[in-house]
Amino acid sequence: MFNLLSRRALSRAGVALAFFAQSVAAAQTWPAKPITLVVPFPPGGTTDVLARAVGQELSAVLGQPVVVESKPGAGATIGADFVAKAKADGYTFLMGAVHHTIATSVYKKLPYDFQKDLMPVGVVAMVPNVVVVNPGVAAKSVAELVALAKAQPGKLTYGSNGSGTAQHLIGAQFEGMAGVSMVHVPYKGSGPLATDLLGGQINMSFDTITPVLPHIRAGKLRALAVTTAKRSPALPDVPTLDEAGLKGFNLGTWFGVLAPIGTPSAIVDRVSREITKIVAAPAFKKKMEEIGAETVGSSPAQMAQLIKDDTERFAKLVKDAKVSID
């Protein structure tokens, strides 16, 4: 029996060593061609902006182009599914976000498992969301917005980056806490959402700061509050929803890189280390601050814990808000 157990143990150890050797060999020759970084939204949104900024820096240190490719739709799940099913060779990555931890509970049927089919690489940044309205809306504060929504139940419209995204859930949470009823209008991303918001086709949104910040500064949109627990340095004069009366409101959007499950660990660790260096660089941090993003950086294990915690946290919020998609 002892000999049998010993042979089994040696066999398992041999397999593990062989896998490790293959991983190291792959990392030594990688990258030998361009790398694709998939963005699950159209160009112009925060995910796209962060992907291009990180991709440019990664290209410089890895010596190969990092090509940003948009695969939008279905609340960011189409892009995630594409990467989950991609070859795990270190040449396809996903710029994921908190949206994917929400989609797990919102969508009754997903063709992938976010925690089992994708490997965390590292968190890039956290970006507050902001309650922003078209200037034509007769509300200059959250209190006035709530009063207007109560006076016109089911009339005000708010856009999101798609059903099941953070913007959608934040809107649903806002409705519940404020005791109002509004109409949710899903888009494929921040680009088309911002166009309709500026044009007055929709009244408001709970988008991340990045795509709407230039319009706020130009006076084309009016910011009423940020959705995180603390104010944003990009909008220091704009209160938090907690300060505006919705006590305890604290929801923001994080963004990070993931790879298909089975990607050699040596490659994942290399990319993670490079991302950590990139987001810690003063010039990059300053560049991100200018667009309302706070750089984070993390190990794959830390990102995995964040995904696990947020998936559990949002499952309760989704249930309470009764948000569900077939």
Tokens of 232: 């944003």
State the pLDDT at residue 130. 97
State the pLDDT at residue 316. 87
Instruction: Flag whether pLDDT at 136 surpasses 50.
Output: yes
Tokens of 323: 């948000």
State the pLDDT at residue 4. 53
* Per-residue pLDDT band at 108 (split at 50, 70, 90): confident
One fold for 2-126+254-321 and 130-226: yes
State the pLDDT at residue 322. 78
pLDDT one-digit tens code per residue, 65-90: 999 999 999 889 999 999 999 999 99
C-alpha span between 132 and 155 (Å, rounded): 17
State the pLDDT at residue 20. 54
| Interhelix angle 46-62/209-217, nearest 10 degrees | 110
Tell me which of 20 and 28 has the higher pLDDT.
28
* Per-residue pLDDT band at 286 (split at 50, 70, 90): very high
Place of tokens 């991340």: 208
Highest mean pLDDT among 105-114, 148-157, 163-172: 148-157
C-alpha span between 136 and 138 (Å, rounded): 6
* Per-residue pLDDT band at 13 (split at 50, 70, 90): low
- For residue 34, the number of C-alpha atoms closer than 13 Å in the C-beta half-sphere is 10
Tokens of 209: 């700061």
Secondary structure letter of residue 76 according to DSSP: G
Instruction: Flag whether pLDDT at 8 surpasses 50.
Output: yes
* Per-residue pLDDT band at 209 (split at 50, 70, 90): very high
Instruction: Flag whether pLDDT at 119 surpasses 60.
Output: yes
Domain ranges of the chain: 2-126+254-321, 130-226
C-alpha span between 98 and 51 (Å, rounded): 15
Beta bridge partners of 129: 208
Tell me which of 217 and 16 has the higher pLDDT.
217
Does domain 2-126+254-321 correspond to CATH entry 3.40.190.150? Answer: yes
In this prediction, what percent of the chain has a pLDDT beyond 70?
A: 91
* Per-residue pLDDT band at 189 (split at 50, 70, 90): confident
Task: Give the helix/strand (H/E) hosting 310.
Answer: helix 300-321
State the pLDDT at residue 28. 74
* Per-residue pLDDT band at 2 (split at 50, 70, 90): very low
Residue 51, burial from CB neighbour count under 10 angstroms (0-12, 13-18, 19+): buried
C-alpha span between 203 and 198 (Å, rounded): 9
| Predicted structure pTM score | 0.85
Q: Which CATH superfamily is domain 130-226 in?
A: Periplasmic binding protein-like II (3.40.190.10)
Collapse the DSSP code of 321 into the 3-class scheme (helix H, G, I; strand E, B; otherwise coil) and give the result: helix
Beta bridge partners of 120: 258
* Per-residue pLDDT band at 12 (split at 50, 70, 90): low
State the pLDDT at residue 184. 95
**Are the C-beta atoms of 143 and 285 separated by less than 8 Å?**
no
Label residues 270-282 b or e (16+ Cβ within 10 Å = b): bbbebbbebbeee
* Per-residue pLDDT band at 326 (split at 50, 70, 90): low
| Mean pLDDT for the chain overall | 91
Q: What average pLDDT does range 18-44 have in this prediction? A: 80
State the pLDDT at residue 14. 55
Q: What average pLDDT does range 52-59 have in this prediction? A: 97
pLDDT one-digit tens code per residue, 243-280: 999 999 999 999 999 999 999 999 999 999 999 999 99
